[in-house]
Structure formats: structure tokens, C-alpha cells
């Protein structure tokens, strides 16, 4: 029994279900089913890994109770026909083999049922919808917009709604009941009825979408009637041993006249009376507003829904499940305080399915952290299978354990200690290869160190990987730059180049001035690793940096992030050239430190490398802070106090005291060419192969390990 997490790791009950601990895998749509609603081996192996990892309960991703009607993803699990039974049965069996329980999240997508629109089917709603405005398209790239075309339907008119009659309501209620019966037949322990996130049941609960004047509209009790009828029908169709939970919204963000906590509290009391065994408290953000998705359900603010769970807990006596970026230590405290009874985690269990086992073993530092980059869910937005930037084995569990020990131990030299290099070194060492890792800087992390300065979750990944690398039998050398000769002298079987991109600022007249930094110089100045860049600073700043470097202060990303809120050698009026991932995250960092920032982006898109949902959030935040963002600009020259550029064939200029050039990174094959015919097999991964950031570097590392074997 873990000392620190004894509440989280203690057994618990939800209705008839006995659970080995209080950790719940939150439902997450994966797009891993086949295109006809059947479970695939990929999907089953993904859930099996989470069961093996120690979670007490798995909530299956949102699944279509009335499939194909109400499906929100192209590869969504169906529960409407006997033909789904074999796959569902195997899924439940494989999860049970590892001691976890599993409930099916049953849903009808309602207004979000894009597969109905794609197939030309009309969408049932409590009331006819008013046409809405969406600002989502402002943040999408042209390529991403292409993925949404299908959502306009075969006639291009977009979703067509109809108001449900009593007969439609009865049929849908019956659909949920027979789906629950199928789940029980397949061996599931229960269901979670999805009454949140803007889906059909939530549309009845929400005063915004429900304008009915019959017994299903008006008062809170009437709006809850559809849900209560479903609960009653599910109860009727299943045995006493079958658990019924609901997930609902405590609030609808950015929805005028939407659900508020008071509505939720009435609904949960009615649901408890109707016999549900647990309440899972989430929230919804109007997806017509790009920013809303990071308010709910994928709340960005740590523990953003805890107050909601606490309020629900006071209103009911059945167990309450809290969710929403809750760290295990916070969840532990919440359970101890009686704020909620079970902790559901989504993203953290994508990043590391073994999180529960690691808590149990008392090794929380070994948990691979989620970096809240939103790549997983952004894939679902564009109808792709879910993936995880820090764990590319997620969704590939069916390929088997790639770090199973190799019988053929090789000598491998990894050059470059950024995320790709560290991840490759870690996996190769775990496989039993003899690994050396060389990093030219004093500290591991590469460009992820500056990414960690700008966005704290990235720092956690750097810390996790460097701890893993230090704990393994890896011959680690920091402060060691590689040359052709030193590499060849190692006589390694494999040389893995993870040296990062070649950063050459474009030829902009005036870029050599002292107030202009490129990305490399900025990193060097902030971390005290580049004397030439530091020479550009005035004597006072140089002195302060030298003092900071001598006290080792510049080595800690955390300390530097904190100190830079008080002081850093960057003027108060900055032009950032480049609105890609680096330029946007850097601008976010600068405005948070009181700098007035303008971004000049040469191309038409902003942050195409950022996942849609994170991009939407960063752009929203920058605009809220008054950052001036200009696209389609050609930078003509940098002067002492301004940047001159051309936009729409007109010459313009912006006053500034500092310029940061955040463009000009390219793949780098120079070292690979020097090593040709050197006797080792040479591999390039990460940004030196192709500019692909943390996500691409971690994926490359995985592919490399599969290749080396």
C-alpha cells in the first residue's frame, strides 16, 4: 500500500461494483473502432493496457447507443446490434483479466452527431436549433478545414435537425435500454449514460437547446424527464448487479442561458432517486468558440471542476467522480476531504497507463507526464485516430511490447539529449543495449528546455526523461559536443543523431544588431550557454547574467521561469518575427512577463504545428492580451528602433526595442553526411530529421527502437 496515496489506492464501491482503487479511466473517444462500429484489436489492446496499468474502473469511450444514429466519430463503437457482441465481449474479458472493471459510456450525439450529417440523416433534437456562429474556422489551417467538409453533409447544407415527437423519444429511450442490455450480455459491469457535453440528453437538460412546451421542457424537472426515462428503462432492461452511472455537466461555458450548477444539482438529486449508482461531474464548453474546449470538458485550469464535484457531493449520497486535470496528489487530498469519492483521469492515463501501478509502488516520479499539448483530442476533431505526443505506444499496444529485452545487445551512441535523444536512449537501455548519450550543453533537454520555460508542462517531460536516463545504465556525458572523429572513435554499431534542427535566421538586413536575437541566441542568453549572444547585451545585463550563471540559477527551468517574471534581459516592446509554434509560445511567455508584443508572420497560417485546440487557446490568450498579430508580411529590414515590412503591397513599420527572429529552423543532415562509410549504422531522429517538435521526436525514437530491435 502506497503511503502517500492511500485514499486514492483504497478499494471502493460503486453500486454493486467493487473496485480495487479509486482511479477511473475517463471516457475518451479514440476512433480506434472499425468504420462499422466494431471493436478492433487496436482498441481492445489499448483498453487492456489501461487495465493492466492498475486503474480500478475503465469508462469506455463515448459509444453510440442507437448506432449508426447519433455517432459523433467515423470510427465509433456501436451498441445497437447483436453483431457488436463478440468484439464487446472480448473487450470486457480482456479488461477483467487484469482486475479492472469496465462500464460502457452510452451516448446519442444529438447536435454533435456529425456522422448523421455526413450520411444525410436528419438529427433529432428536443427543439429546433437556432443557427449558430462559429469562430472555429479562424484558427484552422486550410488542410484542417478540408477535414470538416464531410461535416457539411452530402448536399453541403450542414446539419439538418428535427424536433423529436413522443414516438422519437420513446424509440430513443428504448435504444438506450437495449444498448445497456447488450453491454450486460457482453460482460460489462455497467454503463455510464452520457448526459453531458452538448450531446442529446444534455440538449434536453439545457435551457438553451430545450424550448419544448410539453412535459420534457420548461422546468428543471421536465428537462430531466428524458434522462430519467432512460435511467428507468436501463434499470428495467438490466439485472440488479449491473451498475448505472451518469456523466453530466455542472456548467455549460459560453452558452447563453445554458446549464448552471443549480440545474445540475436538481438533476443529480432526481437521478439518484431514479436509482443511479454514481455521478461523474464534468462540464461543457460551446465548441462554436474555439477557446471553449479548453474551458470544458478538457479544462486547462488545474482542478478546474473540483468545486463542482464538491457541490454535487453535498447534494447526493451516491459516490461522486471528480475529473478535470486533477493531479494524483490533489485527487488524494480531495478524496480525503470528502470532495469526491473517485478520481477520473483522461489525458494522464494516455500519457502513462501505468500511473496507478506507479502510485501503488511509491514511484510517482516514474510517471510519464502529460504535457497538455491537446494533440490527442485535436486528432478527434479532424476525425483521425487519437495519439499521444509523449507516448506513441498509446494506440499501438497491439504491436506488442517494443521494449521487451533484446537478445542481441548492440553498442549504441545517441548524440543529443533533447526529448528524442533521451527517449531513444531510455528505450534502448531498457531493451538491454549498451547505450551512451552525449549532450553538448551542461543540462539535458535541448530546445525542450526553452519550451519548458515558455510552457511549464514541457518542463515536466524534460525532468521525467532526464530522471529516467540517469536511473538507467546509460553512459551519460553532458557538456560533450560530438565531432566526426569522436563519434567514429566510439565504434558503435548504431549512431543515433538527435542533434536538433539547424537554426539559421533568414537574411534580413539589420539582423546583426545588438537588439536582435535569433532563437538560438535567445536560448543562449536565457540559459547562459552562449557567450557570443550574451555579448550583445549591455554591461549591466551581462553582469547580472554572469552572477546568475555563477550561482547555477540558470540551470533550473523552474527557477528561471519564476525569476524571469521579475527580470529578464528582454526590452519591454518586442517584435517577434514568425508566428509558428515557437513564435506563439515565446510571445505567450513574453506577454505573461509584461512585454508589449507584435508578431509578424510571413505566411497565411498561425501556429500550424500546434494542435488545433492548443493553438486556439494560445491565439485567444495572445489576442486577449492585446498582442498585435500580422500575417502575410515580408520583412524588409530591421532598424535601430523599428521593423519595416511589406503587407498587401504596402510598406509598413512597427516601432520596437527588441526583435526576436523565431523562424529559420531546418532539418540537419551535416553530421550524417560526415559519418557516411564510418562503419556504424547512422540514424537521424527528431528535428534534425524533420522539424517535428516533441511529438515527432518521441515518435521517431519509438520507430528507431523498433528498427534496431
Ligand X SMILES: Cc1cc2nc3c(=O)[nH]c(=O)nc-3n(C[C@H](O)[C@H](O)[C@H](O)COP(=O)(O)O)c2cc1C
- The SS3 assignment for 652 reads strand
Cβ nearer to ligand SF4, comparing 79 with 372: 372
Q: Decide if 47 is catalytic.
A: no
Cβ nearer to ligand X, comparing 208 with 305: 305
Q: How many residues bind ligand SF4 (CB under 6 A)?
A: 13
* DSSP-assigned beta bridge partners for residue 246: 193, 279
Cβ nearer to ligand X, comparing 245 with 476: 245
Spatial separation of the C-alpha atoms in residues 217 and 209, rounded to whole Å = 10
Selection from ligand SF4, ligand X, none that 462 binds (CB < 5 to 8 A by kind) is none
Cβ nearer to ligand SF4, comparing 259 with 694: 694
Q: Which run of H or E residues covers position 497?
A: strand 494-497
Alpha helix positions (H), 159-280: 166-185, 200-205, 220-223, 225-237, 261-274
Q: Kindly state whether residue 340 participates in binding ligand SF4, applying the rule CB under 6 A.
A: no
Q: Kindly state whether residue 323 participates in binding ligand SF4, applying the rule CB under 6 A.
A: no
Q: Kindly state whether residue 388 participates in binding ligand SF4, applying the rule CB under 6 A.
A: yes
Cβ nearer to ligand X, comparing 247 with 684: 247
Q: Kindly state whether residue 376 participates in binding ligand X, applying the rule CB under 6 A.
A: yes
| Least distance CB 40 / ligand SF4 (angstroms) | 21
Residue 311 neighbours by CB under 8 Å, 6+ apart: 250, 261, 265
Q: Kindly state whether residue 348 participates in binding ligand X, applying the rule CB under 6 A.
A: yes
Q: Kindly state whether residue 374 participates in binding ligand SF4, applying the rule CB under 6 A.
A: yes
| Least distance CB 177 / ligand SF4 (angstroms) | 34
Select the residue interacting with ligand X from 153, 297, 303, 419 (CB under 6 A): 297
- The SS3 assignment for 636 reads strand
Cβ nearer to ligand X, comparing 323 with 498: 323
Select the residue interacting with ligand SF4 from 373, 496, 516, 616 (CB under 6 A): 373
Select the residue interacting with ligand X from 21, 80, 282, 458 (CB under 6 A): 282
| Least distance CB 444 / ligand SF4 (angstroms) | 19
Spatial separation of the C-alpha atoms in residues 285 and 96, rounded to whole Å = 34
* Region of 93-101, 246-254, 386-394, 634-642 interacting with ligand SF4 (CB under 6 A): 386-394
Selection from ligand X, ligand SF4, none that 328 binds (CB < 5 to 8 A by kind) is none
* DSSP-assigned beta bridge partners for residue 634: 646
Cβ nearer to ligand X, comparing 62 with 658: 62
**Strand order through the sheet with 650-655:** 633-638, 642-647, 650-655
- 10 Å CB burial of residue 608 (0-12, 13-18, 19+) is middle
Cβ nearer to ligand X, comparing 28 with 290: 28
Spatial separation of the C-alpha atoms in residues 419 and 439, rounded to whole Å = 11
Residue 507 neighbours by CB under 8 Å, 6+ apart: none
Q: Which run of H or E residues covers position 547?
A: helix 539-550
* Region of 142-150, 306-314, 368-376, 636-644 interacting with ligand SF4 (CB under 6 A): 368-376
Q: Kindly state whether residue 671 participates in binding ligand SF4, applying the rule CB under 6 A.
A: no
Kindly provide the residue ranges of all beta strands, DSSP E only, lying in 569-649, ordered along the sequence.
Answer: 573-577, 596-600, 628-630, 633-638, 642-647
Selection from ligand X, ligand SF4, none that 324 binds (CB < 5 to 8 A by kind) is ligand X
| Least distance CB 448 / ligand X (angstroms) | 22
Q: Kindly state whether residue 375 participates in binding ligand SF4, applying the rule CB under 6 A.
A: yes
CB atoms near residue 143 (< 10 Å): 10
Q: Kindly state whether residue 351 participates in binding ligand SF4, applying the rule CB under 6 A.
A: yes
Tell me the longest C-alpha to C-alpha distance in the chain: 83
Spatial separation of the C-alpha atoms in residues 583 and 635, rounded to whole Å = 15
Residue 63 neighbours by CB under 8 Å, 6+ apart: 76, 77, 78, 79, 104, 105, 106, 107, 179
Residue 616 neighbours by CB under 8 Å, 6+ apart: 136, 139, 290, 291, 293, 294
Select the residue interacting with ligand SF4 from 45, 66, 290, 371 (CB under 6 A): 371
| Least distance CB 646 / ligand SF4 (angstroms) | 37
Select the residue interacting with ligand SF4 from 8, 24, 224, 350 (CB under 6 A): 350
Spatial separation of the C-alpha atoms in residues 27 and 599, rounded to whole Å = 38
Cell of 291: 477557446
The answer to whether 70 and 113 are in contact (CB under 8 A) is yes
Cβ nearer to ligand X, comparing 12 with 196: 196
The bridge status of strand 434-439 relative to strand 411-415 is parallel
| Least distance CB 674 / ligand SF4 (angstroms) | 35
Selection from ligand X, ligand SF4, none that 388 binds (CB < 5 to 8 A by kind) is ligand SF4
Q: Kindly state whether residue 237 participates in binding ligand X, applying the rule CB under 6 A.
A: no
Closest residue to ligand X, judged by C-beta, is 346
Select the residue interacting with ligand X from 9, 26, 259, 444 (CB under 6 A): 26
Per-residue binding string, ligand X, 247-266, x by CB under 6 A, is x-------------------
Selection from ligand X, ligand SF4, none that 247 binds (CB < 5 to 8 A by kind) is ligand X
Cβ nearer to ligand X, comparing 71 with 643: 71
Q: Kindly state whether residue 386 participates in binding ligand X, applying the rule CB under 6 A.
A: yes
| Least distance CB 297 / ligand X (angstroms) | 5
Select the residue interacting with ligand X from 9, 23, 24, 27 (CB under 6 A): 27
The answer to whether 448 and 461 are in contact (CB under 8 A) is yes
Q: Kindly state whether residue 299 participates in binding ligand SF4, applying the rule CB under 6 A.
A: no
The answer to whether 685 and 420 are in contact (CB under 8 A) is yes
**Cell 538560438 sits at which residue?**
520
Select the residue interacting with ligand X from 65, 345, 606, 688 (CB under 6 A): 345
Catalytic position from the list 199, 208, 372, 645? 199
Residue 262 neighbours by CB under 8 Å, 6+ apart: none
Spatial separation of the C-alpha atoms in residues 111 and 161, rounded to whole Å = 8
Select the residue interacting with ligand SF4 from 73, 376, 618, 622 (CB under 6 A): 376
Residue 394 neighbours by CB under 8 Å, 6+ apart: 46, 49, 350, 351, 353, 386, 387, 388
The residues that touch ligand SF4, with contacts defined as CB under 6 A, are 347, 350-351, 370-376, 388-390
The residues that touch ligand X, with contacts defined as CB under 6 A, are 26-29, 61-62, 105, 194, 197, 247, 282, 297-298, 323-325, 345-348, 376-377, 380, 386
Catalytic residue ranges: 199
Amino acid at each position: 500500500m502506497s503511503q502517500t496515496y492511500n485514499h486514492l489506492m483504497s478499494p471502493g464501491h460503486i453500486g454493486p461494483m467493487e473496485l480495487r482503487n479509486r482511479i477511473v479511466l475517463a471516457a475518451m473517444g479514440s476512433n480506434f473502432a472499425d468504420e462499422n462500429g466494431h471493436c478492433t484489436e487496436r482498441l481492445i489492446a489499448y483498453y487492456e493496457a489501461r487495465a493492466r496499468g492498475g486503474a480500478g474502473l475503465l469508462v469506455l469511450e463515448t459509444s453510440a447507443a442507437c448506432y449508426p444514429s447519433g455517432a459523433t466519430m467515423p470510427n465509433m463503437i456501436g451498441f445497437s446490434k447483436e453483431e457488436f457482441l463478440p468484439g464487446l465481449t472480448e473487450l470486457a474479458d480482456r479488461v477483467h483479466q487484469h482486475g479492472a472493471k469496465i462500464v460502457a459510456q452510452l451516448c446519442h450525439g444529438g447536435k454533435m452527431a456529425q456522422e448523421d450529417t455526413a450520411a444525410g440523416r436528419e438529427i433529432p433534437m428536443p427543439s429546433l436549433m437556432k443557427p449558430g456562429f462559429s469562430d472555429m474556422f479562424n484558427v484552422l489551417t486550410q488542410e484542417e478545414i478540408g477535414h470538416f467538409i464531410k461535416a457539411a453533409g452530402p448536399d453541403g447544407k450542414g446539419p439538418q435537425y428535427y424536433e423529436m415527437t413522443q414516438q422519437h423519444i420513446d424509440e430513443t429511450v428504448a435504444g438506450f435500454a437495449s444498448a445497456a442490455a447488450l453491454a450486460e450480455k457482453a460482460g460489462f459491469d455497467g454503463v455510464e449514460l452520457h448526459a453531458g457535453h452538448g450531446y442529446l440528453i444534455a440538449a434536453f437538460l439545457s435551457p438553451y437547446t430545450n424550448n419544448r412546451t410539453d412535459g420534457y421542457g420548461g422546468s428543471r424537472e421536465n428537462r430531466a424527464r428524458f434522462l430519467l426515462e432512460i435511467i428507468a428503462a436501463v434499470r428495467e432492461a438490466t439485472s440488479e448487479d449491473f451498475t448505472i452511472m451518469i456523466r453530466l455537466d455542472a456548467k455549460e461555458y459560453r452558452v447563453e442561458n445554458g446549464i448552471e450548477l443549480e440545474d445540475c444539482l436538481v438533476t443529480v438529486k432526481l437521478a439518484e432517486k431514479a436509482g443511479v449508482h454514481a455521478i461523474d461531474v464534468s462540464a461543457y464548453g460551446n465548441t462554436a468558440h474555439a477557446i471553449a474546449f479548453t474551458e470544458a470538458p478538457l479544462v486547462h485550469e488545474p482542478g478546474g471542476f473540483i468545486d463542482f464535484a464538491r457541490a454535487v457531493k453535498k447534494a447526493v449520497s451516491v459516490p461522486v467522480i471528480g475529473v478535470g486535470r486533477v493531479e494524483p496528489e490533489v485527487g488524494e487530498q480531495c478524496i480525503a476531504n470528502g470532495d469526491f469519492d473517485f478520481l477520473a483521469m483522461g489525458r494522464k492515463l494516455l500519457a502513462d497507463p501505468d500511473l496507478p501501478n506507479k502510485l501503488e509502488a511509491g514511484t510517482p516520479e516514474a510517471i510519464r507526464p502529460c504535457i497538455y499539448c491537446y494533440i490527442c483530442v485535436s486528432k478527434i476533431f479532424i476525425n483521425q485516430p487519437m495519439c499521444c505526443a509523449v507516448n506513441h505506444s498509446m494506440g499501438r499496444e497491439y504491436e506488442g511490447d517494443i521494449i521487451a529485452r533484446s537478445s542481441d545487445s548492440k553498442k549504441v551512441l545517441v548524440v543529443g539529449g533533447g526529448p528524442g535523444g533521451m527517449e531513444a536512449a531510455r528505450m534502448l537501455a531498457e531493451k538491454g543495449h549498451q547505450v551512451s548519450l552525449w549532450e553538448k550543453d551542461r543540462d539535458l533537454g535541448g530546445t525542450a528546455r526553452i519550451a519548458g520555460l515558455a510552457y511549464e508542462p514541457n518542463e515536466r517531460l524534460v525532468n521525467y526523461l532526464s530522471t529516467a536516463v540517469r536511473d538507467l545504465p546509460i553512459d551519460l556525458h553532458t557538456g560533450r559536443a560530438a565531432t566526426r572523429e569522436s563519434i567514429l572513435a566510439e565504434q558503435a554499431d548504431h549512431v543515433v543523431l538527435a542533434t536538433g534542427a539547424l537554426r539559421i535566421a533568414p537574411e534580413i538586413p539589420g539582423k546583426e544588431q545588438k537588439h536582435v536575437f535569433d532563437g538560438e541566441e535567445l536560448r543562449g542568453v536565457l540559459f547562459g550557454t552562449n557567450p557570443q549572444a550574451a555579448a550583445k547585451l549591455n554591461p549591466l545585463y551581462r553582469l547580472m547574467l554572469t552572477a546568475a550563471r555563477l550561482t547555477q540559477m540558470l540551470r533550473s527551468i523552474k527557477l528561471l521561469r519564476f525569476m524571469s517574471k521579475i527580470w529578464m534581459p528582454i526590452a519591454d516592446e518586442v517584435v517577434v518575427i514568425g508566428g509558428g509554434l515557437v513564435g506563439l509560445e515565446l510571445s505567450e511567455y513574453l506577454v505573461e512577463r509584461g512585454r508589449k508584443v507584435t508578431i509578424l508572420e510571413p505566411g497565411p497560417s498561425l501556429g500550424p504545428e500546434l494542435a488545433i485546440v492548443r493553438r486556439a487557446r494560445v491565439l485567444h490568450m495572445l489576442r486577449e492580451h492585446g498582442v498585435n498579430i500580422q500575417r502575410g508580411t515580408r520583412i524588409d529590414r530591421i532598424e535601430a528602433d523599428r521593423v519595416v515590412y511589406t503587407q498587401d503591397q504596402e510598406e509598413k513599420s512597427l516601432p520596437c526595442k527588441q526583435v526576436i527572429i523565431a523562424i529559420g529552423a531546418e532539418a540537419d543532415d551535416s553530421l550524417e553526411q560526415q559519418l557516411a562509410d564510418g562503419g556504424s549504422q547512422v540514424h537521424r531522429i527528431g528535428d534534425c530529421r524533420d522539424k517535428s517538435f516533441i511529438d515527432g521526436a518521441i515518435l521517431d525514437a519509438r520507430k528507431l527502437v523498433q528498427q534496431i530491435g
